[in-house]
Structure 1
Amino acid sequence: MNPYKRLLLICDPAMHLSPAMTRAQALAGSSSAVLHMVALGSLPPSLRILDETLQDRARLDWLEKHQTWLDDQCQLLSARGIDVSAQALWSDEPMKEVLRLAEDMKADLLIKDREYEPALRRALITPLDWQVLRECAVPLHLVSVAEHALPRKVVAAIDLSQSDPQIDAVNERIIEAAQNFAVQCDADLHLLQAYEAPSSFLAYAAGPVAWTKEMQEEASGRAQTRMARLGERFGVPQHYQHLLKGPATKVIAQFAAEQHMDVVVMGTLYHSGLTKVLGSTTEQALYQVPSSILAIRP
């Protein structure tokens, strides 16, 4: 069964064939899904000092230019047999507009170019990618590069460190989403688990405690057993199951780079307090993992 029937693409406002557009077109072609392309614009802060007449003119010029470009892209895609539509929209609240579009369209997948934001700017303003990650219920595909229009290698990053029904359910949803994506692209599917010293044990230790070889073997053994069960259930061969020691973001980034993974599939949760500032593992992965990301909200 085709998992994708409606694809929503947030286009690069620079009006060019970006990695996200390349990926969206390829997915629409392989899945026969309806593709809706949207260009979102807003008035730059430097122009907000203009009077209302000049602001209106700038808005109308932007909308006309982008709609013309989108219409040209639609003609090209329609000639290839892709069911496509497009619209240029002006909004001062892009995150709310993205969420509204995804809900109204009942999109199965939201596709967007990954935007890099410097650390200083991230400390002052929450990046749009982070906002959408935290709020969007639709699977979100943030595309960094599209060396292969349809990915060839997909890895599901899962958490097997604990025996918890809720975490198990999240793992299964991540793998299901990764499997659907891989099948649609005819890509290889891998499973990846990064593990570290059990924080619950170290937190209650009276002093510094070394993570002994026995502890490592116990932790990795439990994770390996759980991964084997999941691999058997989802048809992932053993040589595509990877258990690596180290911090999750670092392990995922290194593995994705060394193994040339096209897409990393991860779960995302909203965090408050300090982790809201620092970002979740998925949020941090946006700036460290070279691959594109498919984020699944539990």
Structure 2
Amino acid sequence: MSAQARYLLLVSPLMEHSPAFERAAALAKAEGAALHILAFDYLEGLATAGLVNEQALEQMRLGYVERHHQWLEDQARPLRHLGLTVTTEVAWVENPLKELLIRLKEEPMALVIKALEHESLLSRLMFTSLDVHLLRECPVPLHFVSRVQHGLPRRIVAAVDPFHRDGRYEGLNDRILHEATKLATACDAEVEVVYAHDLSDLSTQEYGFGSGAGFFSSEAAKLLFAEQGQAFNDLAARNGIPPEQRHMILGSPAKVLASYADAYNIDVIVMGRVGHRGLSRLLGSTTESLLYKMPCSVWVVSPERFD
């Protein structure tokens, strides 16, 4: 008998109830998983207060952590009444990313769920948020919840790039489709597969093409389009995706995916990442930029091997 899967819901230190609670509970119930709710607390002013003796400071810290833990227990109580196995924890940690990555190695989780923290463009340019750090480094599937129309997703899109030529990411598209179909099965939802391709992208350089109208009218461009279509259909077919659920759309991946999600009322888009150096293709920079632009939640799949 296999062990019960465990999901981690990472929550804000601000004691705010987010849509991620509803999504985490619905997914855990559908998959029969246990749910661990974790908050990382650290108040710089309290941690470095120089006018308070160490004993009083420790009492203040413990009191704050206890109040937060009680708040989490209040959120967990109705979930337990639904039959879910729910545990809660508050940890006083200065570097939450480092602590989380250590925990994921020591206590494997099947999924990390977190509410997306919407920040200004200026803030994102000046500081790398925890969300982006997680996007780049989380070794397990990561679900960013931005809004929830339904507790369980009803419409799911898997975004793939079958023409990615870096051998380090071989099999990533199959993992994306596996995660998407597994999620759809658990939620009794529909899954569509989208390959948003841009013939003026870097892949054209691999074939010796330049940019401009001449490229798009050339026989070579038609050949590249046909090869991309064949690679996409082969990928979808071996993962059991029927033809009517495959969509190969010409255009910038970021724009195509955002428009598709908005037009078809998508609940979750499942994407992959290929590291955070030289982000220029769909499975890299598109995931990071779409994090704050998508009209739906995002499910991120990491490669099995990434150095």
User: Taking structure 1 as the reference length, what is the TM-score of the superposition?
Assistant: 0.88
Secondary structure at 1:210's aligned position in 2? helix
Deviation at 1:198, TM superposition (A): 4.6
Deviation at 1:105, TM superposition (A): 2.4
Whichever residue aligns with residue 7 of structure 2, its letter is: L
Secondary structure at 1:190's aligned position in 2? strand
Counterpart residue number, 1:41: 41
Output aligned runs, 1:183-202, within 5 Å. 183-196=185-198, 197-199=200-202, 201=204
**Contact 1:159 1:167 (C-alpha < 8 Å) held by counterparts:** no
CA 166–241 in structure 1, closer or farther in 2 if over 3 Å, else same: farther
Secondary structure at 2:215's aligned position in 1? coil
- Structure 1, unpaired ranges of 5+: none
CA 210–6 in structure 1, closer or farther in 2 if over 3 Å, else same: same
| Alpha-carbon separation, structure 2, partners of 1:2 and 1:30 | 17
Matched, 1:268 2:269: no
Which stretch has the larger CA shift, 217-226 or 53-62?
Answer: 53-62
Counterpart residue number, 2:30: 30
CA 34–247 in structure 1, closer or farther in 2 if over 3 Å, else same: same
Output aligned runs, 1:180-259, within 5 Å. 180-196=182-198, 197-199=200-202, 201=204, 210-213=214-217, 214-259=219-264
Deviation at 1:191, TM superposition (A): 0.6
CA 2–262 in structure 1, closer or farther in 2 if over 3 Å, else same: farther
Give the one of 246, 265, 284 matched to 2:289: 284
| Alpha-carbon separation, structure 2, partners of 1:264 and 1:98 | 24
**Contact 1:70 1:86 (C-alpha < 8 Å) held by counterparts:** yes
Counterpart residue number, 2:151: 149
Which stretch has the larger CA shift, 72-81 or 164-173?
Answer: 164-173
Deviation at 1:157, TM superposition (A): 0.6
CA 205–219 in structure 1, closer or farther in 2 if over 3 Å, else same: closer
CA-based RMSD of the aligned residues comes to: 2.8
Deviation at 1:32, TM superposition (A): 1.2
Deviation at 1:51, TM superposition (A): 3.4
CA 221–68 in structure 1, closer or farther in 2 if over 3 Å, else same: same
Deviation at 1:205, TM superposition (A): 5.9
Deviation at 1:33, TM superposition (A): 0.6
Deviations 1:222-270 (Å, cap 9, x if unpaired)? 2222222233222222221111111111111111111111111111122
CA 225–289 in structure 1, closer or farther in 2 if over 3 Å, else same: same
What fraction of aligned residue pairs are identical, expressed as a percent?
35
Deviations 1:29-85 (Å, cap 9, x if unpaired)? 111111100112111469856535475455333211111112223332222110110
Which stretch has the larger CA shift, 253-262 or 219-228?
Answer: 219-228
Secondary structure at 1:115's aligned position in 2? coil
**Contact 2:46 2:57 (C-alpha < 8 Å) held by counterparts:** no
Matched, 1:74 2:79: no
Deviations 1:96-126 (Å, cap 9, x if unpaired)? 1222333332100000011122222222211
**Contact 2:174 2:239 (C-alpha < 8 Å) held by counterparts:** no
| Alpha-carbon separation, structure 1, partners of 2:4 and 2:172 | 20
Deviation at 1:209, TM superposition (A): 5.7
**Contact 2:204 2:210 (C-alpha < 8 Å) held by counterparts:** no
Counterpart residue number, 1:20: 20
**Contact 1:138 1:297 (C-alpha < 8 Å) held by counterparts:** yes
Count of residue pairs brought into register by the alignment = 295
CA 47–166 in structure 1, closer or farther in 2 if over 3 Å, else same: closer
User: Taking structure 2 as the reference length, what is the TM-score of the superposition?
Assistant: 0.85
- Structure 2, unpaired ranges of 5+: none
CA 20–42 in structure 1, closer or farther in 2 if over 3 Å, else same: same
| Alpha-carbon separation, structure 1, partners of 2:192 and 2:279 | 32
Secondary structure at 1:138's aligned position in 2? coil
Whichever residue aligns with residue 29 of structure 1, its letter is: K
